[in-house]
Chain A
Amino acid sequence: MSSPLLQLTDVKTHFPINQGLIFRQHVGTVKAVDGVTLSVARGEVLGLVGESGCGKSTLARTIMQLVPTTAGTVVLEGRNLTTGSLQEVRDVRRDLQMVFQDPYASLNPRLTVFDTLAEPLRVHGVCPAAEIPARVGKLMERVGLASRFMQKYPHEFSGGQRQRIAIARALALEPKIIVADEPVSALDVSIQAQILNLLSKLCREMNLALIFIAHDLSVVKHISDRVAVMYLGKIVELGPAAEVIERPQHPYTRALVSAIPTPNPDTERTRQRIVLPGDPPSPINPPSGCAFHPRCPHALEKCKTAVPPLSAEVAGRSVACVRLGEI
């Protein structure tokens, strides 16, 4: 197998909690991402799911180097981003771009579409200034916007169109991988479908890898080749999308899958639902052992002490549960 495009090895992102105005005291640590090992191949779509607070957005920001890593390495095509200089990281960003959740907040309201899309081209000196308008026009058409809207401002567009602009901005430098943090969560169903189709098409046409973060499993299943399920900063299950969602093995994935309401009144009313008790625990003070054990219907004594590692891959799947095979 050829080397992966992006390789994360035991990545940890911790945030210190300090208290006191004058005598700052370190009172604790939020372990937002706590030992994630993950690889993404060229052209692959990796879905990343989990509930709010599980660290999926922090992981995205860690990959982008928008927050400093506490430990571990992020390597893109042999270039280590965690130890690279600012200049090196800047160069790597040409290959690594991001799309954010809220298309209302992620575009500068004072810049026209042209300015927004031309900026990365200018900064990285991709092409002579004279060619910029033509490139911007092509970018807009690529994401399904008419190039005659170039001089319009973000407020003149709908949510779905703004998300297209954000995607065009990410594509401007022809990256190899895009990290999309909940790109469709703020959109209506009919618009969501348009954006998902667009992302799939772009990945296919440009051999673009995509890390697609979402909390909606049915969306993730539709778009992804592989899925990683996160709980409290750790990956608990990883494998091919259809396998993981149709035959989940980790008790948390099972509960997550069973919690999705299905749009079919006959099956929806009769199926057995696993309703988890309580809320996800706080990453400041995570439970001992397996972080999921207080809510897990299958937890034993040993789950309270031993942290289960992600198992070795079997048919492309790995699971972090000591009772795997018993339940």
Chain B
Amino acid sequence: MPLLSVSDLRTYFYTRNGVYRAVDGVSFDLERGETLGIVGESGSGKSVTCYSIMGLIPQPPGRIESGTAVFDGVDLLHCTPAQARSIRGKRVAMIFQDPMTSLNPYLRISDQLIEPLLIHENISKADALRRGLAMLEAVGINDAARRINLYPHEFSGGMRQRVMIAMALITKPELLIADEPTTALDVTVQAQILELIKKMQQEIGMAVVFITHDLGVVSGLCDRVQVMYAGRIVESADTRTLFHGPKHPYTRALQRSIPALQAKGAELYTIRGLPPDLSKPLPGCAFAARCEFAVDRCRTSEVALAPAGPGHAHACLRVQAGEI
């Protein structure tokens, strides 16, 4: 049985300008210890998917229209608040993109770091502090005994992200959701944080959902990758297969527009047009308007993820029909 099984998740936002279908029918499974990358551009629904699972969608304006997210037998979307609380922050933890704004500036590092322990475990404050200190050392903060008593503004960006990771991992969760944890950091610090997540994953044996827009980060970290576009998954495969044999035109286009893979001076490959307006109904394939292979039926017929090989699935009618 998978650790997390999300099926037919739909999260819509009701605004004055219409209903935004931010996530529109997302299903995936995650095994214990597995690292899943979710890749997509801004507005593709990758963060909303994870916020929905964690119960962090502001309602209203958001609403989870349908779907289930079963974590170890408990449906996180339909369980009681008490059940959700016993899982969230203990067995499922999350780290966020911006380490500058996701720590409480009024609380000492020590207080926010051990809060999950005090809530979820029957532990004295002194023991919790001892574990907090050990955790800070494990994530590579020098001079942790002194720094644990400081405030977030006294830390650099990379150190704050380490504190966030320590806070998320202090309860030894079975699943870590990381929402672009390195996007706001410099490359040398990003390299440190990625190494740290890999190391902690080996020690604790947790599964990781890693959200990013950087295909380079995915290639080094993830076992499996899922590409999202306009609230839907368009391709899902193990990392090697996805990088060496992408099937969906969007995945191919995304890969081709990375400057690193192109010759110097050559014109960069670009995807024409703009991502679709999610408040308008999108019959057929959401990518059809920008796709160089689109034909009439792409714009009218619904397309679902279909298997294309072991562990590989994509949602393109023309690839499925063997035409391209």
Residues of A within 8 A of B (CB): 51-52, 158, 160, 188-190, 192-194, 196-197, 200, 215-219, 221-223, 241-242, 255-256, 258-266, 268-269, 273, 275-276, 278-280
Contacts and interface: CB of A to CB of B under 8 A. Distances in A.
B219 A255 contact: no
B258 interface: yes
A216 B220 CA distance: 17
B269 A193 contact: yes
Contacts of A218: 258-260
B186 A261 contact: no
Interface stretch (B55-63, B121-129, B146-154, B190-198): B190-198
Contact of A188 (B42, B142, B186, B264): B42
B259 A273 contact: no
B215 A241 contact: no
Interface of B: 41-42, 142, 156-159, 186-192, 194-195, 213-220, 239-240, 243, 253-255, 257-262, 264-265, 267-271, 274
Given A190-B271, A194-B270, A262 B191 contact: no
Contacts of B240: 265-266
Contacts of B274: 158, 160
Contact of B219 (A52, A264, A278): A264
A292 B257 CA distance: 34
Contact of B189 (A189, A223, A273, A279): A279
10 contacts: A158-B274, A193-B259, A193-B268, A193-B271, A261-B191, A261-B220, A265-B219, A275-B195, A276-B192, A278-B142
A261 B239 CA distance: 14
B267 to A, nearest CB: 6
A301 to B, nearest CB: 23
Contacts of B270: 190, 193-194, 197
Given A193-B268, A196-B268, A264-B219, A273 B254 contact: no
A188 B188 contact: no
A259 B190 contact: yes
Given A52-B186, A189-B257, A279-B158, A222 B220 contact: no
A190 B243 contact: no
A217 B213 CA distance: 16
Given A215-B187, A273-B195, A275-B188, 15 more contacts: A188-B41, A189-B41, A189-B254, A193-B270, A200-B267, A223-B259, A261-B214, A262-B219, A263-B215, A263-B261, A264-B219, A265-B220, A265-B243, A268-B216, A276-B192
A179 to B, nearest CB: 20
Interface of A is mostly: helix
A179 B322 CA distance: 48
Given A188-B41, A259-B188, A222 B262 contact: yes
Nearest to A186: B42
B197 to A, nearest CB: 13
Contacts, number: 118
Contacts of A188: 41-42, 213
A293 to B, nearest CB: 16
Contacts of A273: 191, 195
Contacts of B258: 189, 218, 263
B259 A222 contact: yes
Nearest to B40: A188
The 5 closest A-B pairs by CB, nearest first: A261-B216, A218-B260, A222-B259, A51-B186, A190-B271
Contacts of A222: 259, 262, 264, 268
A279 B156 contact: yes
A276 B185 CA distance: 14
Contacts of A278: 142
A267 B188 CA distance: 18
Nearest to A279: B156
A263 B191 contact: no
A280 B271 CA distance: 36
B215 to A, nearest CB: 4
Nearest to A276: B188
Contact of B188 (A51, A158, A242): A51
Given A189-B258, A218-B259, A276-B188, A264 B214 contact: no
A217 B190 CA distance: 14
Contacts of B214: 261
A190 B192 CA distance: 27
Contacts of B156: 279
A273 B192 CA distance: 10
Contacts of A242: 264
